[in-house]
Structure 1
Amino acid sequence: MKNLKNLAKKVFAFSIVLLTLFVIPFNNSFADTFYKNEINVKINKDGSADVESIMDFEPSKGTEYYIPIENLGKSEILNYDVSEIIEGKEVPYETLKTWNVKQSREQKAKKAGVVKTKNGYELCFGFGEYQRKTFVLRYRVTNFVKLLKDSDMVYWQFVNKGLNSAPQEVKITISKAEGKFDNSNSKIWAFGNKGKIEFLDGKIVFNSLTGLSSSNYVTILTQINKGEFTSGETINKDFSYYQDLAFKGSDYKKPDTKNKLFKNIMIFVVTPIIVFGAIITILFLRKKKGYSKGDFKGEYYRDIPEKEWWKLSYILENAGFDGNEAIFRAYFLKWIQAKRLIPITEEKGRIFKKEVLALKINEDAPKQFDNKIEEKFYSMVVGASQGDRILQENEFSKYLEDEFKQHRFEELSEELDNLSIDYARKNDFFEKKESGEWTEKYNDRGNEFVARLIKYYNYLKDFSLLSEREISEIKVWKELLIYATLYDVADAVEEQLSKLSPELLNNIDVDLNSFHTGVVYSDVFTNNFVDAYSSNVSNYSDGDGEYSSIGGGGDSFGGGDGGGTR
């Protein structure tokens, strides 16, 4: 009986422990959920803007919500207040003159305040209970409009990159207190995510098309005719200066309006100077973020840096190599080597026939993929080949005319970058802020890995310096050839291999003809794929409104990096 009582006590105690473990922490263990962010901006005649940000948000951790706003120029944030919508009515929060970040969640509940930082502001409020609520933030931005030499401008980041919970849906509406916006007085572009920007009912309206991730942001650039606003921040620059900054790294292209003589001057005189200056600038900036191609001359690393090479797009691009394009190129080579894609030639044209390269989809090949991204990319290749399962040169161009397929390509590119950034974080390659948030600046461990990538590039680029004995001792030919394609130095490797005897090539299990064919076809079809996307979205740069660009929008005003619960 005594043993039975002891057993009952142990069972009861164990049950209490289970309840403690599985019930109590649940409130803090789930991730925050940001359902929707609707931002309404009214620009006043004096160039200031009244901003209303409506947040449908469910916190699960921390004591407050904060939004960094930096890069302000001569702008200031005034009249900040917060309210909560309860049963259809707005209930205002108490606005404090000073905000104490260190207070408890209960002390901050239903209060709001501003923290001044060395770079700008942090707009803060205490959300109280861990429940889904709708918050309304309002404030005024002075000098929101920038008065340039040739036109006026709004260039503002409305949703930050690096939010610890990015919104699933974003809508931004920009209106004028007097008059309207349309394509007779303005041009508009959007950056940082998959969305659409357009003129609607005298307003500029942006809508996201998919949920944002922590690497996304929302930046809007607007060129406005002179005379629409009476004041703002005066900047002694033309609009083209900011347009170039915004378009850098974007899908947008500036329209070609220059005459032929000017083109020739640019091509033969100015362009070399600009290119040289750009190269120097890029190299300098990359030094700040880590090593880049061209470093470690004469130094070599002889082992495969990472077997899962498809996780390296961001790291490769940051080091001066091709990014996503390199991964696409390597996938084509991989599929050709595995005979999943079979290189062939076809005749094209009714009267003047010419041979074009083509890839035949091998339906009998195993349908095994290393990850979902590879599977999605392969499905796009199959889709572009249409019903005959033969992908010809330039068939991607027709395939990517479809807007939905363009978005699939954008998603694919973004997933590759996110995969690469996650890989860097999991391997502790990036530094962290004091708050614990990741930066994208390499620490010593990250710099060491990038150095290995570059030294392995040097090894493949200088492959002609290897002796036959060194080549015969290589055990990882499959991965080596993939990396030669990633780095775009396959020609150097192939040239050296062509000097070897057939017996040695057979011993090291390298079919030089197949490799050459694979390299040629992977280059051609990757270029077709990327160029087809660029040509199909380039017409969106006229400023009349269309789809946003995932990249670009750099050096904007407002916004910042990070934010969310803390």
Structure 2
Amino acid sequence: MQRFLTILLLLCAATAMRAAGNAAVKDVHINVQIMPNGDAHFTEIWTVDVRRGTEWYLGRENLGAMEIRDLTVTDETGRLYTDEGAWKTDRTLQQKAGRCGIVDKGDGDYEICWGIGSLGEHSFTVSYRLTHFLRRLTDADAFNHMFVNPMPDAPEHVLLSIRPADSSTVLTPDNTRVWAFGFLGNVYVTDGAVVAETAGPMQGDEASVIVMVCFDLDLFGPAAQRSGTFEEMKERALEGSDYGTGEGEVPLWLAIVVLVAIALVLLLLIIYVVLEYTGVTSSRPVYGRCRVRTWSRDIPLNGSLTAAYHVLSEARPLLGDYSERRFLSALILRFVYQGIVQVKGERHSTLRMLSFEGPPPAPSQFEGIVDRELYHILRQASGSNLLLEANELKHWGESEENGRVMHRWINNLSDRCGIICMAQKLEDGQGHFTKEGQAKARGVPELRNYLRDFSLLSERGVDDVALWDDYLVYATLFGIAQRVTEAFRRINPDYFHMGDRSIDPVGTVILANSFSQSFRHGSSSYEAAQQRASGGGGRASFSGGGGHSGGGGGGAR
């Protein structure tokens, strides 16, 4: 809860801070390659809009025995900057243009600097080698490093990728454990790399990107040795974070208490079920009332299917079924209607498949990371011919690596949906729906009520016909697609033959449901497998990360 409250307070101040800053940092991509000897080669791309200042700097403090070497800087024109070695900050804009260097502040504290050349938009690529980056401990090889420092002009997006320089070394969740701190986002081991990404703009001058990684001893041969164990490093880093404190045996007295309390739990469960079905414990906090009986024909929440799913999930009765299965079906159905994927095969045939032919859609064609990542998972499963059948997806997901990808997508839904609802100001920093958010959230059950009573469409006008594809998508999310399609047939049977449809709407819904079931099968297969107790990746902790190397601010000055 403290994490979400902190994020909310930072969001309130973000707009004013960005307007008053020296620059806007639109995007930061950092690629790190770890050498067999433990050195690391950094390539950082900073896309910025500079408003004031003469130079850009990146603090690299608390490096200890690490050294920065082989510095290069280029800009969006491809111009290679002159490395001056020791950097002099007290110069004009023109004197610094096309030049870079390092400020040695002593005690292992440095600043990487370069001239901005001119105000306005720039894309700077900074490369350097950090020696002794990876340290050998008594039980593991590890690092805990701040890759993006707190700065007044916090980046809007950060993507960090860490992989071995030797392609024969492959990182997996079995040999690599990861944690992240200082930002709202996630960190994972995927496709042979450690990947950390912010879920939205970094807010406030205390936000940072800190990643701690623990490798098995047989992956690298770092030259730098350090006394102590990784558990000691982890304990310091996790102090004050919202990561769990780890697993342990259940004390005997606690097991006895649990057994004695079973009868009481059953009684409380009965009471809770009654309260759920009266809407006291779930519907009222989300909608501001126990039941929503009004209707609306408008698509709610600015068309965010992800936000609508989150609203239904938060307001569902205890025994309700607003599962990710329906959400998956609705997303796949929307892909088809948007033309992002095509349906191949004979009309009404059971041997239908999704086609991903052509280049992937632009990011702007997706609502956000949830549907964009789902698309790329399905496209990857389609193989070299870019055609995917439901059974093919099912078998693809049965491998451990592919099942892990599916499981991770589903496991991240709650956090990612919550972030979207915070961005739309539906919830406060503690995960509670605000009064304004409740009013917006009521649009979801109001549309459901409208679709349930769709036979009255003729009395309400026919202007909604253009929205019928969207209505069928939301009907799928609500679990009433069959009822709605039957109403469509009575009201306007021509809908089923409008446009260049390769499959009728009923068949499209059935197809989407089959793919959804196959996706869930892959996730469940992986979930049944043995998972690591800690360090498996997931949501980053906004707090914690103590004992890291790096830091020291940055930005235009």
Q: TM-score normalised to the size of structure 2?
A: 0.49
Q: TM-score normalised to the size of structure 1?
A: 0.48
Larger radius of gyration: 1
